[in-house]
Structure 1
Amino acid sequence: MNHEQPDNEDLHFWSFIDHAVNRASRELPGVDPLAMRLVLTLHRAANMLVYDLESTVHRPRGWSWPGFRVLFAIWLSSPVEAKKVAELSGMSRAAVSALVNTLERDGLVTKTRAPHDGRAVSLSLTESGLHAITTAFQAHNEREQEWAGSLSADEQKTLIALLEKLTAHSLRFEVRQRT
């Protein structure tokens, strides 16, 4: 039995993709290395982007990434029911409910009963909430511009088209989404 530790000191965030694809391809002959590389790269890039936006823009304002997503959805669609905010933000209703309670306590969001259904909650921003989200989004978009700046306008449009094609294709098989 070999009890030696693997030599993984040379691996880092991005080189791990090469390592993972090569090793999985060797050990599991049916693995599609190109699909694996695509998903790993996309996942890592998205996580990196979200972490950067959260840590540079939203955490300094006392918000988490989910908190920003909820405020963003309310800002752009209010008045809006909480269940619609869950759908638009890709979060569970329970998560939105918990976040809305915090945002209401902080004076950023108001809750009222929806006129058509006494059980439904309609959400709106307070004046303070509107100022907070618009100010935050300006900083958020400046950071988005920094990220996008490594690509030309044509490359950005091509990447958007490819990502839209990827997500549209997901309708052809049973993709699970938060509801």
Structure 2
Amino acid sequence: MTAEPLDRPVLDYLTFVDYAIRKTSDELPEVDPVAMRMCLTLHRLTSTLVYDWESTVHRPRGFSWAGFRVLFALWNAGPLEAKRVAQLSGMSRAAVSALVNTLERDGLVSRQQAEHDRRAVLLDLTEAGREAISSTFTEHNKREQAWANALTPTERNVLIGLLEKLATSPAATEAKRRF
């Protein structure tokens, strides 16, 4: 393994964004550096948030981020068919199916035949699942508050509005059709 070239700056998780934008813009002048910065920064922040929640809240309680998302969807909207859990959690049906096997084995989720369609299976939380997700979410929200406290209430509302605008944009609508 060779060392990094001496003329390259020492990069970290955030300074890499500046470096990547400069380098990409030099190589591909048609690239929109502002759009690139927005998306890279948003992706990096999202990854950092998920890592923080998973490492400080979810893993210590025996959950993965994906497992938490399934439990959260069922806690708020269940009982649900697996395909609806997949839609609400932003996961594939296959991922939900595999996760439900584990969550059921751990006594957190139950399956029952749907009355409206004998082929359909409804997923729901067990009492242990309800207790687990409610106590976990209380801790999860404490971390959310720690992150939100970096902004004023006005800044939070502006950011929420901007994120919701992105989430309902034509590009987002197009992407959601592929789920």
What is the TM-score of this pair, normalised by structure 1? 0.93
8 A Cα contact 1:92 1:178, kept in partner: no
2:151 paired with 1:151: yes
CA–CA distance in structure 2, aligned partners of residues 23 and 52 of structure 1: 29
Which AA in structure 2 matches 1:96? V
Which AA in structure 1 matches 2:116? H
8 A Cα contact 1:86 1:93, kept in partner: yes
CA–CA distance in structure 2, aligned partners of residues 91 and 61 of structure 1: 21
Classify the secondary structure of the residue corresponding to 1:118.
coil
Higher relative contact order (CA 8 A, sep 6+): 1
| 1:167 Cα deviation after fit | 1.6
Which AA in structure 2 matches 1:6? P
Which AA in structure 1 matches 2:93? R
Aligned length: 177
CA–CA distance in structure 1, aligned partners of residues 3 and 54 of structure 2: 39
Which AA in structure 1 matches 2:161? A
What is the TM-score of this pair, normalised by structure 2? 0.93
Q: Which runs of 5+ in 1 are unaligned?
A: none
CA–CA distance in structure 2, aligned partners of residues 6 and 173 of structure 1: 43
Which AA in structure 2 matches 1:156? R
Structure 1 19/9 Cα, relative in aligned 2: closer, same or farther at 3 Å? closer
Other-structure match for 2:65: 65
CA–CA distance in structure 1, aligned partners of residues 178 and 105 of structure 2: 26
CA–CA distance in structure 2, aligned partners of residues 39 and 72 of structure 1: 26
8 A Cα contact 2:75 2:125, kept in partner: yes
CA–CA distance in structure 1, aligned partners of residues 152 and 93 of structure 2: 38
8 A Cα contact 1:57 1:139, kept in partner: yes
8 A Cα contact 2:166 2:172, kept in partner: no
Percentage of matched positions with identical amino acids: 58
Other-structure match for 1:6: 5
Q: How does 1:1-179 map to 2 (within 5 A)?
A: 5-7=4-6, 8=8, 10-171=10-171, 174-175=174-175, 179=179
| 1:174 Cα deviation after fit | 3.0
| 1:178 Cα deviation after fit | 5.5
Task: Name the stretch that deviates more: 7-16 or 67-76.
Answer: 7-16
Q: Which runs of 5+ in 2 are unaligned?
A: none
Classify the secondary structure of the residue corresponding to 1:111.
strand
Residues 125-173 of structure 1 show CA distances to partners (whole Å, capped at 9, x for unaligned) of: 1111100000000000011000100001111110000011112113587
Structure 1 114/34 Cα, relative in aligned 2: closer, same or farther at 3 Å? same
Classify the secondary structure of the residue corresponding to 1:110.
strand
